[in-house]
Amino acid sequence: MVRVLSSPMGRMPTEPENAQPSSGSSAAGVGRRRALLAAGAVLAAGVGAAAAELADGGRPSGRTDATGAPPPQAALPFHGLRQTGVTFPQPAATQLLAFGLPQTSAAADREILRTLLAAWTRTLSSAVTGPSPDPRLQDAGTARLTSLVGVGPELAARLDLAVPAGLADLPPFPGDRLDPARSGGDLVVQLCAEDRWTLAVVGELVTTAARAAGAVPRWAQSGFLPPVDAGATPRNLFGFKDGTANPDEATARQWVWGPPGPHENGTVLVYRRIRMDTAAFAALPEDGQNLAMGRRRGDGSPLTGTAEHDDPDIYAKRPDGSYVIPVTAHVRLTSPRLDGGSRMLRRGYSYDDGPGDRGLLFCAFMRDPAQFTRVQNRLAARDALNPFLEHTASAVAYVLPGAPAGTTLGEHL
């Protein structure tokens, strides 16, 4: 069952709290179940219309009611214990933005950071609560937006910020072709919405606030998901369902969110921009694709099971002694069984930046980025997908705990 905490901070009438599940619950986090969890959370916060839509997978469905009128667009909350960019069902489009802070004195830079986080709290909360101060958002009443703000490891070290001990840049991996102009960043913001318009306008407001505080834009990256039925797992550009084996809430408490204490509702984002040779992969026979992935392209089921959410059994063998899920299959090398049961929360998006440059924006959340390093070292050594992949950008950021109503992002820093 999903249990939901009511906010310790009370609630503003126009601004529903981004509620979250309480401890010990085995509330759902896997694919469609995450959508229901978020719906439950919102319902508990008293936002029935939003809940109804989130239960539908969080996508405006284009439904019309009996009168033929489209249903009203309910607001999404901004304030809450966790940031909505990690907890809410994935909207169809994303915009990642990274910024650098000037390097003056630690005291002056800390002040800039404080000013900027306060400005972003105002910008992001007013975008979702409406009426927006920006005329370009007023037609919609409110922006249906989820967001997260994260702090990069270099900035955290420079300003001696209170971040998780494991926050660090990733080591280089074999085969990396990283573009520094698309990587890193002192601050990373991820905006997600159903439409590009909202992302463009709110992205501009976020950037304007950053410049006003003295920060400089470093890179931006947009991404998208395919249209999917309510609750279904979206596919990536190889045509496979991507995001099936994500942790439930109880598991996420152990591996995704911080331990009890100041980082309890924070997490770490690992971002990788991975170019995919979709044409070459598509040229493989379907069987070959399934063996490379360890799952079936059609329904996403593991080669050792029959349904999408069956757990892959990496130890199952054929009569001839070979593994059913081959030794180089992606789901074997990423299996939690090879890593003490650890799980990351993957919320990837596809991108398309022109001919020959399309692929996956791998966005995963975990307590400790060393987990990514362990998995990526295994993948870099022998993932069957490697001939079709190239990692072209990378970033790590401490995703701040949410800001309950009346507070500002990053107050604990």
Q: Which residues are catalytic?
A: 242
196: phi then psi, degrees, rounded to nearest 5: -70, -30
Q: Which is nearer to ligand HEM, 12 or 338 (CB)?
A: 338
CB of 95 to ligand HEM, least distance (A): 20
Helix (H, G, I), strand (E, B) or coil at 43: helix
CB of 311 to ligand HEM, least distance (A): 8
CB of 61 to ligand HEM, least distance (A): 24
Q: Which two tokens stand for residue 378?
A: 């295994």
DSSP state of 282: H
Contact 347, 326 (CB under 8 A): no
Distance, CA of 212 to CA of 348 (rounded, Å): 31
Q: Which is nearer to ligand HEM, 120 or 372 (CB)?
A: 372
Q: Which is nearer to ligand HEM, 153 or 336 (CB)?
A: 336
Site residues for ligand HEM per CB under 6 A: 236, 238, 240-245, 272, 274, 276, 293, 295, 312, 330-331, 334-336, 344, 359-360, 362, 372, 375-376, 379, 389
Q: Which is nearer to ligand HEM, 185 or 243 (CB)?
A: 243
CB of 371 to ligand HEM, least distance (A): 9
CB of 147 to ligand HEM, least distance (A): 23
Helix (H, G, I), strand (E, B) or coil at 158: helix
Distance, CA of 334 to CA of 385 (rounded, Å): 12
Kind and range of the H or E element at 93? strand 93-100
Question: Cis bond leading into 131, ω under 30°?
Answer: yes
3-state SS track over 192-249: EECCHHHHHHHHHHHHHHHHHHCCEEEEEEEEECCCCCCCCCCECCCCCECCCCCCCH
- What are the residues facing 365 on neighbouring strands? 269, 345
Q: Which is nearer to ligand HEM, 120 or 240 (CB)?
A: 240
CB of 276 to ligand HEM, least distance (A): 5
For residue 381, CA distances in Å to 269, 374, 402 come to: 23, 11, 37
Distance, CA of 94 to CA of 45 (rounded, Å): 25
Q: Which is nearer to ligand HEM, 336 or 402 (CB)?
A: 336
